[in-house]
Amino acid sequence: MNDNWKHGYKMSGKRAGMVAIGVAAALAAGIGFSVPVQAAKPVRWAVPIAFSSSLKALGDTLPWVVETLKTASAGQIQLKIFEPGKLIPALGVFDAVAEGKVEAGYSWMGYEIAKVPASALFGAVPFGLEPWEFTAWFYYGGGRELLREIYEPQKVVPLLCGTVSPEAAGWFRAEVKSLEQVQGLKIRAAGLGGKVWQKVGATVSVLPGGEIYQALEKGVLDGAEFSLPSVDEQLGFYKIAKVYYLPGWHQPSTSQYLYVNRAVWDGLAGEQQAMIEGMCTAGVTMAIAKAEAVQGPTLKTFEENGVKAISLPDVVLRALEKATGEVMAEESAKDPQFKTVYESQQAFKAAHRPWKTLGYLPRTW
């Protein structure tokens, strides 16, 4: 890296969780504040990202965080974003940060599932927690502590820095009306959702977002899931595949993280850690809000372009739910950390269910 984007910092062992939340709350409320970071050495990081910064809610959260950090720190904390493939491959963010090739990176958590099996549970869980439930579990149900513990050996500090609405189940070239039709389908899917598709007989591949359009166009794929309707619209999938399945069973919520090299993080002053983590917490709020705000109009646009947006048949959803239970049991048996995190999420989900059921208006209201 260019020397202007390198640094060395004095070790600080301060933990900044509560301060971070306070900073985020101040930002969300529009309150001006000043944090005395001037005494510490300025932060100048190169930050490659896994998704284009132009993608609504999915890719544009970090740019918001970066600009707000720069303003709030009076220019003392500046992160330089590198678009996918400009510095490292889109799916290589985690490895680059862990190996110290870059100071930090931004990605969906789960692409590193082969090295950190439990990582996928922090990115998205089939039939799992919805956005507000996930953040409740993460901040108040022990999720953040489990995450830090799991990533300690990886030389990476992960900061939750964006959570968005459910993805769509995916784009298909033809309707899927039965489980038998799933057999042999070539589908782009990632993480645990991909394992579930495989369990019910589909052939699964993981492609970066920029390669999906061409694969669908050429028939290399029969179907593909990638992200929110608003993101899928920007990537143009509706021009090729006209069957759009919902709901996002495989990713009821999708979370992105700012990965920071541990040596770099430990070299920051406590105030710098607090400001960065606090701004990421504010970014979670902004991502949820924007993701919810833009999906309705996007579905209307799809309808105007001849897209059939429909729910997966109940028989297929039930089969996917059953397969999810099998996949989770298999992964839990292979990895103790996976088992611990999944059981923690399931326990939170069960404890929260009475409130979720009774506290909100029925969805048919």
Confidence band, pLDDT 50/70/90 cuts, at residue 274:
very high
pLDDT at 9: 31
Residues 54-69 pLDDT 10s: 998 899 999 999 999 9
363 falls in which pLDDT band (50, 70, 90)? confident
State the pLDDT confidence band at 31, using cuts at 50, 70 and 90. very low
Residue 4 confidence (pLDDT): 40
Which amino acid, 23?
V
* Structure confidence by residue, pLDDT tens digits, 228-260: 999 999 999 999 999 999 999 999 999 999 999
pLDDT digits 0-9 by tens, 70-90: 999 999 999 999 999 999 998
Average pLDDT, the chain: 89
Which position has the higher pLDDT, 303 or 14? 303
Q: Give CA–CA dist 189/169, Å, rounded.
A: 10
Using 50, 70 and 90 to split pLDDT, how confident is the model at 309? Answer: very high
The residues, any chain, with a CB within 8 Å of residue 240's CB and separated by 6 or more, are 171, 173, 213, 216, 217
User: What's the pLDDT score for residue 190?
Assistant: 85
Statement: residue 18 has pLDDT above 80: no
> 205 pairs with which residues across the strands?
188
Q: Domains in the chain, start-ordered, CATH in brackets?
A: 3-164+254-292 (3.40.190.170), 170-251+297-343 (3.40.190.10)
For residues 215-226, give the mean pLDDT.
Answer: 93
Residue 3 confidence (pLDDT) above 60: no
Q: What is the pLDDT of residue 38?
A: 56
206 or 335: which carries more pLDDT confidence? 335
User: What is the structure's pLDDT at 210?
Assistant: 84
CB 215 within 8 A of CB 173: no
- Whole-model pTM: value is 0.85
Average pLDDT for 288-317:
95
> At 208, is the pLDDT very low, low, confident or very high (cuts 50, 70, 90)?
confident
- The percent of residues above 70 in pLDDT, for the chain, comes to 90
Q: Name every residue whose Cβ is closer than 8 Å to that of residue 336 and which is 6 or more positions away in sequence.
A: none
The candidate with the shortest Cα–Cα distance to 58, out of 283, 241, 221, 364, is: 283
For residues 271 and 235, what is the distance between their CA atoms, to the nearest angstrom? 39
State pLDDT tens for residues 124-164. Answer: 999 999 999 999 999 999 999 999 999 999 999 999 999 99
CA distances in angstroms from 27 to 71, 97, 101, 186, 279, listed in the order given: 11, 28, 31, 44, 8
Predicted confidence (pLDDT) at residue 105 exceeds the cutoff of 50 = yes
Q: Are 156 and 261 in contact (CB under 8 A)?
A: yes
